[in-house]
Structure 1
Amino acid sequence: MLIVSVLPVMAHATDTLSTIRERKTIIIAHRESSIPFSYLDGHQQAVGYAIDLCMKVVEAVRRELKLPALAVRYMPVTPANRLQLIAGGDADMECGSTTNTAERKRQVDFSIAYFIASAKMVVRTDSGIKNWSDLRDKTVVTTKGTTNAKTLADRGQIRSLNLKLLESKDHAEGFSMVEQRVAAAFAMDDVLLYGLKASAKNPADFQITGDSLSTEPYAIVIRKNDPAFKQIVNRELSRLMLDGEIHAIYEKWFQRPIPPQAINLNMPMGHLLRSSIRFPVDDVADLPQ
């Protein structure tokens, strides 16, 4: 059963399909270091799980518009500017590791969730840190513009941990701060931490730990008030899920060696994602618990 929220057509409704038809190009906003969702390979090309899913959507748009020669242009974005660039029309959809939240839906809209992560932290193996209470009076970093920044700040205040909070420009910089011992921990979604750890020079030097701070449903970001484009995006993602095609795409990026360093996350699909694939939704409140 597919449950899709359809937004009412407003006076200033967006018409992404007409824009794409006019320019004969679809613009995909992507991340540069969100392994394995959206990142640059050894040839500086955007690749990843989210990119593969978005390319399926591109094919659906080609069919809908009857534009076999529809071009694809990629636009690198950061956690700090990704929502603004989608809302402003600079790109047609963002394919990365962006969490669907009620607050963000005031600015943009989201597709069906294609991944569900848990917020944890990566620390050095020799740090002795096992859980959040072990961070008292320590320096912790998280990526600027992510949901983890607010969650971590709230956690520190509630538990009076006296954390010194730093913000990195992207995930790679956050991990590097732990690597260089500038910060004791990097708090981020677990799957991103697994990717960063696997690609480190010495993966055994790091461990992912801590109770889950939150559940993070990742989705394609699109502009608000565009039910026609959203319907195409959700229809194609739903097809991939209900037909089972998404499992092969997941296995490719999470359970096999991936470019450019042939790392393998060895991360089986979690039960929350398996449940959400059976009943695809784009409303955070309806996701399986």
Structure 2
Amino acid sequence: MKISKAVAAAAAAVALALTATACGGGSDKGASDGGASGDAKNKIVIGIKFDQPGLGLKTPDGKYTGFDVDVATYVAKELGYQPDQIEWKQAVSAERENLISNGDVKLVVASYTINDKRKEKVDFAGPYFLAHQDLLVRADDTSITKAEDLNKKKLCSVTGSTSAQNVKTKLAPEADLLEQGGYSDCLTGLENKKVDALTTDNSILAGYAAQDNNKGKFKLVGLSLSNEPYGIGLKKGDKDLQTKVNAALKKMVADGAWEAAVQKNFGPANYKSEPAPQITEGS
């Protein structure tokens, strides 16, 4: 009888330990595979911009729109996640590497230009889009057709913008540079003739110009002042995920979904995008 009780107690202890291990293991795997929080089978956390029309925008009704959102949604589906399984997280420019490195997001799809400095901290898939620095001017302005035309004129961009400094230091040193807190402030100034041009990536400019309340007011000059290959940021060393995301991007181009997303998000601004770029990361 004593032996029977001991055996029963030992069996109960083993069962309890196995149950605890199984629960703990499931939680760990979910956090690792799906993003910062939640089971991988239930959701994936993706970082996007919340304030860039045409690329990544959170609308007043809580929806998310833009080319980056469409790309991220397509990639997520190829990874096994439906749209309602995506958790969108705001990824401001200065925090993108930290969000990835800390495991707060699985992917960042946020007008994220691939460069060597960033690749020291994160890996990229793609590129999935090639943007260029350009100028946005009023639709009736014929005085600005090249960067040098900005000399003696007022140029607007956001505070700390590398695009504005590129123009100011290399192309039009006599431009009067005005830095604002956001692109919308520059657009207001451009419309009110307080400034003569706004500069940043042409994809961002096209997104603003394509908004319903801006249609017909502005135009892209059509310059290529820099190359900005957008990639999808992911944790450094995750070659398996990089390979899967690259495959999804190739499929998106092949089945026409990429071109459809370009036309939907940038078409109203008469934006002429580059063809889908060749995948270079991870190859």
Same fold (TM over 0.5): yes
- 2:103 aligned counterpart, secondary structure: coil
In structure 2, the CA distance between the partners of 1:254 and 1:155, relative to structure 1 (3 Å rule), is closer
> Would the aligned equivalents of 2:54 and 2:210 in 1 still touch at CA under 8 Å?
no
Counterpart residue number, 1:265: 269
Measure, in 2, the Cα distance between the counterparts of 1:243 and 1:207.
30
> How far did 1:244 drift?
3.9
Aligned length: 250
* Runs of at least 5 residues in structure 1 that lack an aligned partner in the other structure: 1-14, 256-263
Q: 3-state DSSP class of the match of 2:87?
A: strand
Q: How far off is 1:273 after superposition?
A: 1.8
TM-score by length of 2: 0.73
Aligned to 2:88: 74
CA RMSD of aligned residues (A): 3.2
Q: Does residue 86 of the first structure (1) align with residue 90 of the second (2)?
A: no
Residue number in structure 1 paired with 2:238: 226
Counterpart of 1:216 (choices 216, 220, 228) is: 228
Unaligned regions of 5+ residues in structure 2, if any? 1-28
Instruction: Report deviation, 1:70.
Output: 8.3
Query: Residue 243 of structure 1: CA displacement?
Result: 4.0
**Which stretch of the first structure deviates more once superposed, 151-160 or 228-237?**
151-160
Task: After TM superposition, give the deviation of residue 200 of structure 1 in Å.
Answer: 6.0
- 1:158 paired with 2:170, answer yes
Per the alignment, residue 6 of structure 1 pairs with none
Paired with 1:242 and 1:210, the residues of 2 have a C-alpha distance of 27
Counterpart secondary structure, 2:246: helix
Which of the numbers 60, 64, 75 marks the counterpart of 1:57? 75
Distance 1:207-1:249 versus aligned 2 partners, 3 A rule: closer
Equivalents in 1 of 2:221, 2:135: separation in Å? Answer: 6
**Residue 281 of structure 2: aligned partner:** 282
Secondary structure of the 1:219 match is strand
Which one has a larger percent helix, Structure 1 or Structure 2?
Answer: 2
What TM-score comes out, normalization by structure 1 length?
Answer: 0.72
The residue number in structure 1 matching 2:113 is 99
> C-alpha distance in 2, partners of 1:99/1:114?
10
What is the CA deviation profile of residues 217-247 of structure 1, one whole-angstrom value per residue up to 9, with x for unaligned ones?
1222222222122122112112222344433
Larger relative contact order (CA 8 Å, sep ≥ 6): 1
CA distance in 2, matches of 1:267, 1:160: 24
Q: Is the 8 A contact 2:48 2:88 kept in 1?
A: yes
Q: Deviations over 1:115-146 (max 9, x none)?
A: 2122111123465333222222443222356x
Superposed displacement of residue 96, structure 1:
2.5
Quick check: 1:83–1:107 contact (8 Å CA) kept in 2? yes
Q: Which has the larger radius of gyration?
A: 2
Map of 1:238 onto structure 2? 250
Whole-angstrom distance in 2 between the partners of 1:176 and 1:16 = 45
Q: Given the alignment of the two structures, is residue 250 of structure 1 paired with residue 249 of structure 2, yes or no?
A: no
Q: Give the corresponding residue for 1:132.
A: 147
Counterpart selection for 1:44 from 62, 86, 94: 62
Cα shift at 1:210:
5.9
Q: CA offsets, 1:148-175, max 9 Å, x none? A: x334324322346233434444433432
